[in-house]
Structure 1
C-alpha cells in the first residue's frame, strides 16, 4: 500500500522515496487526471500522479472561457516551438502544451467533439483491435455530464451522457456566429444539430463546449480531481516535478519498476517506485520524450546521444500528426456585431462582472462558437479560381478521409479577432469576424526527437507541415470556401465587403486579406502563398506512440502496453494510430476511461 498523505498536493518528491505505489501515472494532463481518479476508486490499490506543472486551481485564466489564450507562454505552458518548417517559408511555429493539472484540457478552446465514427474503425484496421466507435462510445457517455438547453431542442438527451465527470454545455452564441449556420446552409452545407452521435460530424453546427453549468471551464482536473477525490488516502498527487526517465529492470525482458524525477535541472534526482505499472500520460510530445530518455526508441537516435538502448523501438516519436489551420480569414464586421471589445481591459469589465456573478454572458464564449465539417471533394461551389495560375485540374486531390461520412476540412467561426494565438491585436475600433479553416486529415507526417540527453532540454518538434502537396491543396479549397461564406446574402447585414472591382488591388499583408478577396478570382497560388505565411497549429498533436499490431510499426499494443516492456503503458493522444477528424479532447478522455477499466480488469480489480 502506498503513501497515506492527507494534504492535497505534494511538492517535494524526496518525501515519497520510501513509498511503493501500485500505479505511477506520469503526467497530470487530460488523460492522467482521468486515470488517477478511476484507478484510485479501488481503495485496495495506491496511485501516484506526477505532474511537471502546478495546480489548475490558481490559474484564473483557465476558469474564464474567453481567456484561455492568456495562459500561453506562461508557467502553465510548455511553450514549445517547432523546428523551422520548410513548407511554411522556414518559419518556427509556436507550439503550446498544457503544463498544469488538466494539461491541455485546462487551456484549450473547450470544443467537445467525438469526431467521426469511421475514424475509430480506421484505428482498428491499423491494428488497434477493440478501439472502434462501438467500443469507445460507452466511454464517451460515461465521461460526459451534459447540461441541456431549450435553445437546442434537436439535441437528444439519449445521445448525451448525463452523469459523468466531464461537463459539457452550449455556451455563449453571438448573433454573428449564429448567422454562420444560415450562411453555410445557403451554399448547400446542411445543419447538423449534434455532431456527437453515430451519424457523424458532417454539416454546420453550434459547437458543444467543455464549459460547466456555472459558465466555467470543465477540464479533467476540475472534473476528475475534485476535493473529494484528492482526499482519498490511496491517491497522491505530486506537482512541480519532472519525470526524467522510467526505471527499468535489467532482466532479460525489461520491466518498469518506477520513475526517476527531479524538481528542476539543478535539483537532486529521486526514485519513486511502483509495484504494478508505470503509465505514461504526458501527451504526444512529452511521452515520446520520456520513452527516449528511458532508452526506449530508435537505436540509432539513442546511440548518437549516448543513451543506453534498452529496447529498439523504431516508431517512438514518429507518426506525429497535427491539425494545421490557415491563419485567420478575417472579415470586416459592422459595429456592434462582435466581441472585440473584450480585448480592452476597461470595456471588458461588465462582461467579467457578469461572468463572476452569474456565470453567463460574453466571457463564456469559447471563441470557436460554431463550425462546419465538410469533405473537400463534396463541395459544389467553384473552388478553383478563374485564372491561369490555379492548380492544374488534372492534379486530383487524394481522398484522405476515414470514410464517406467523414470530413477533411473544418472551418471554425469566432465573434472576434484571433490573430497569432491571441498575441496580436486588431487595430483599435476594428470589428472582426474570424473564420479559421483547418486541415483535419493531413498526409504530412512529422516526428518528435531529443535535442540532447537532458530531460530539461526541450525536445525537437517537427510536424513536417506541407511535406505532402495534397495538404496545401485541401487548405486552399478551405480558404476559398470561407471567403464564399463571407460573400453570402446571409452575411450582408453584418459584414462590410469592398466592391469586387477592388479585389485585384488588395494589400496581401492587410488584416482583412484574403477575407476581402473575390473568391471567384483570387488565385490558388495567392491563397497558398498566404497560407504558407500565416498557417499555425490548432494544438492537436497525436500519434507519436501509436497502437499497432507489432513493434516495427507502432509503440504500444492493443492493450496500450509498450512493446517488449512489462509494466509500462501509454494512455494519451500519442497512441492514436491515425488522426481524428476533429477536436481530440473528448476521444482522449474516452480512451483514458477505457484504459482505466482495462488496467484494473487485467489486475482482477474491475467489477
Structure 2
C-alpha cells in the first residue's frame, strides 16, 4: 500500500456503520475527549426504500444498497449457491432487515460464558441491551430499557392474517407470547420492531444521525476499507479509498472492525491476518498468523411452506387488491397505516421439536401474510400466506476464505447440513409449520400448498425438498470467534489475539449463533465493546498521569 497516501489522525477508527459500528461511534464520541472516525463503504439511506418499512423487500437484491454475495455451491443442497445480501448503506444491514427486535435466549449467552468468555453471560449483558432500548410498549422494566435511542414498538398496522397465525398456533399448543425478550421466548405473537413513527429505525438513524454535529465525530461514507496498517504486532490505522483517492486513517488508540461477519474477516485476510497456509495460497503477504479468521461461520437454515389463497386480505397484487395498493401511499402519508407499514414478517415465534434439548426452543417461525413465490421471485401475482421455519442452533459450521478467482471477493461456504441433526430439526420444524397452517382457522382463505406440496410427506421427501429449496435467514455470524481456545480470533475483551490496537465488534465475534434475529445482539455487542474501550482508555490515562506525577 502506498506510503504517500494522505493521512488523517483520530483516536479511534471504526470500520462499518452498521448495527454495532454506529453504537460505537456514538458512545466513543459522547464526551468529546476522543476523536472518532466512522467509515462506511455504502452511501446515503435517504430513500423511501430504506425509510418506509415495506421498502425492505426491494433492498435484498439491490446493487445500490446490498452486497449481493453468493455462497460457494452447497454440496448437500444440490450444489446450489445461496444469496447472501448484506447492507451497503449507512446503517448496514439494519437499514435493510425486517426490523425484528429479538435478543436471543439466556442460554445462548450463558453458554458463551461457560466456554470461557467471562463477562458475556446473560446477566452481564442485560444492562447493555437495556441501555440502547427505548421501549414504547410498557413492557417489564426488569428486562427492558425506556431511555435508549433505539425505539422498540409494535408494527403500526398488522395484517389480520397475523392474528390468524397466532390463533392457529395456539391450537397446536403454542401459547401467545407478548414479549419474546423477557423470560421464556416459547410461543407465538406479533414481533416487536425497531421503528419510530412508522419509519424504519436503523442503527445509523438511532445512534449517529442525531449526533453528526459533534466536532470530534467524522463520518466517511462511500469510503471503502482496503487494508489495515500493521507495524510489527500493532495495528496503527486503515488504508481506505474515497473518490478514487487512497487515504490513511491513523488510529492513535484503536481500530475497530464492525463490518459484519463477512466484511470483518475479509478485511483481516486482505491485510495478511489469518491462516498462514491460506494467505500464502492466495498470494497475500502474511503479517500475523491467526488460524481462526473466517472459520466458525454459522447461519440459520430456513425451510418454507407457502400456500396460495384467493383472499385479498393477504398482501399481494391482483385486480381485487388494486384499490388497496393504490390507496396505500395516501394511507401511509396521512395516517401511518396500511400496506406500507408492513415488514412482511409481522408475526412468528419459537417452538420445540422433539429434538429440542434442555427445554429451549430449537426452531423459529416467521409468518408472512402474503404469497411467497414458489419460483423464488421477488413478486408473484396473486395471494397467499407462508411460514418460514429456521434451525435456531445449527451444528453445521462453515468458513469464509478468499476467492481464488478474485481475492478481493470473499468465498462464503456455509457447509449447510454437514451435520444430520440440522436436517432432522428442520424437517420437524416444517411439520410444525404445516400443522399450524392446517388449523381450521385458515379454512376460509385456504388454497393449494405450493411448497413443499401435498405430495411431499415422508421425511425422505422433505429432506429432498430442503436440499432443493432451503435458504438462509441472512444471519451470518461467528467468523471472528470470541474465546480462549486455539480457534479463537478475539479474546473476551474483543481484542484480536496476538495484536495490539485492533478489536472486532459485530456478529462475527459470536462463538455460537444466537437463537433468533441478530440485529439487537449486534447492537448490544457495540455497547459492550464501547464500554470496554472507554474503560481501557481511562485506565491508560490514569497510568500515564500516575507515572508523570511520580517522575
TM-score range, shorter chain: over 0.9
Measured after TM superposition, the shift of residue 422 of structure 1 is: 7.2
Deviation at 1:30, TM superposition (A): 1.1
**Matched ranges for 1:388-407 at <5 A:** 404-407=358-361
Is 1:362 the counterpart of 2:342? The answer is no
Q: Which residue of 1 aligns with 2:71?
A: 82
Q: Structure 1 residues 167, 419: closer, same or farther in 2, change over 3 A?
A: farther
Contact 1:19–1:272 (Cα < 8 Å) also in 2: yes
Task: Give the distance between the partners of 2:212 and 2:372, measured in 1 at CA.
Answer: 36
Which residue does 1:9 correspond to in 2? none
CA separation of 1:301 and 1:99: change in aligned 2, threshold 3 A: same
SS at match of 2:349: strand
Deviation of residue 405 (structure 1)?
A: 4.0
If the length of structure 1 is used for normalisation, what is the TM-score?
0.84
Alignment of 1:233-312 (within 5 A): 233-250=215-232, 254-263=233-242, 267-312=244-289
**Are 2:493 and 1:559 aligned?**
yes
Alignment of 1:328-343 (within 5 A): 328-341=304-317
1:561-580 aligned at under 5 Å gives the runs 561-580=495-514
Deviations 1:291-319 (A, max 9, x none): 11111110100111232222211110000
Q: How does 1:144-223 map to 2 (within 5 A)?
A: 144-148=133-137, 155-156=139-140, 159-171=143-155, 172-197=157-182, 199-212=183-196, 214-223=197-206
Match of 1:136 in 2: 125
Deviation of 1:127 after TM superposition, in Å, equals: 2.2
Inter-partner Cα distance in structure 2 for 1:106 and 1:422: 23
Give the unaligned 5+ runs of structure 2: 543-551
The secondary structure found in structure 2 opposite 1:434 is strand
After superposition, what is the alpha-carbon deviation per residue over 1:124-146, rounded to whole angstroms, capped at 9, x for unaligned? Answer: 12221101111111111111112
Large movers: runs of 4+ above 6 Å: 342-346
Measured in 2, the distance between the counterparts of 1:354 and 1:591 equals: 37
SS in structure 2 at match of 1:79: strand
Cα distance in 1 between the residues matched to 2:532 and 2:51: 32
Aligned to 1:316: 293
Q: Does 1:598 align with 2:532?
A: yes
Q: Following TM superposition, by how much is the alpha carbon of 1:248 offset from its aligned partner in structure 2, in angstroms? A: 0.9
1:7-26 matches, cutoff 5 A:
17-26=6-15
Quote the residue 1:65 is aligned against: 53
For 1:28, which of 17, 28, 35 is the aligned residue? 17
Which residue is 1:543 aligned to? 478
Answer yes or no: is 1:440 the counterpart of 2:375: no
Higher strand share: 2
- Aligned partner (choices 481, 491, 507) of residue 432 of structure 2: 481
Alpha-carbon distance in 1 for matches of 2:7, 2:261: 31
Contact 2:306 2:374 in 1 (8 A): no
Deviation sequence 1:262-305 (CA, Å, 0-9, x none): 138xx443211110000000000010001111111101001112
CA distance in 2, matches of 1:211, 1:15: 45
Partner of 2:199, secondary structure, is coil
Give the structure 1 partner of residue 545 of structure 2.
Answer: none
Shift of 1:27: 0.9
- Over 3 Å counting, the alpha-carbon distance change for 1:514 and 1:451 in structure 2 is closer
Offset of 1:420 from its aligned partner?
7.7
Query: For residue 512 of structure 1, what is the aligned residue in structure 2?
Result: 450
Deviation at 1:470?
1.4
Q: CA deviation at 1:361?
A: 2.2
Paired residue total: 537
**Structure 1 spans left out of the alignment, 5+ residues:** 1-13, 150-154, 378-396, 498-510
SS in structure 1 at match of 2:87: coil
Per-residue deviation at 1:441? 1.0
Work out whether residues 16 and 272 of structure 1, in 8 Å CA contact, stay in contact via their aligned partners in 2: no
Q: Is contact 1:307–1:453 with CA below 8 Å preserved after alignment? A: no
Instruction: Please give the alpha-carbon distance, in whole angstroms, between the structure 2 residues aligned to 1:33 and 1:453.
Output: 33
Are the equivalent residues in 1 in contact too, given 2:305–2:386 (CA < 8 A)?
yes
In the alignment, what sits opposite 1:232?
214
> Contact between 1:166 and 1:223, CA under 8 Å: does it hold in 2?
yes
How far apart are 1:202 and its partner, in Å? 1.2
CA contact (8 A) 2:8 2:247 kept: no
**Counterpart contact for 2:482–2:510, Cα < 8 Å:** yes
In the superposition, relative to structure 1, how do residues 548 and 117 fare at CA in structure 2: closer, same or farther (>3 Å)?
same
Q: Aligned partners of 1:116 and 1:472: how far apart in 2? A: 22
Shift of the alpha carbon at 1:372? 2.3
1:332 offset after TM fit, Å? 2.9
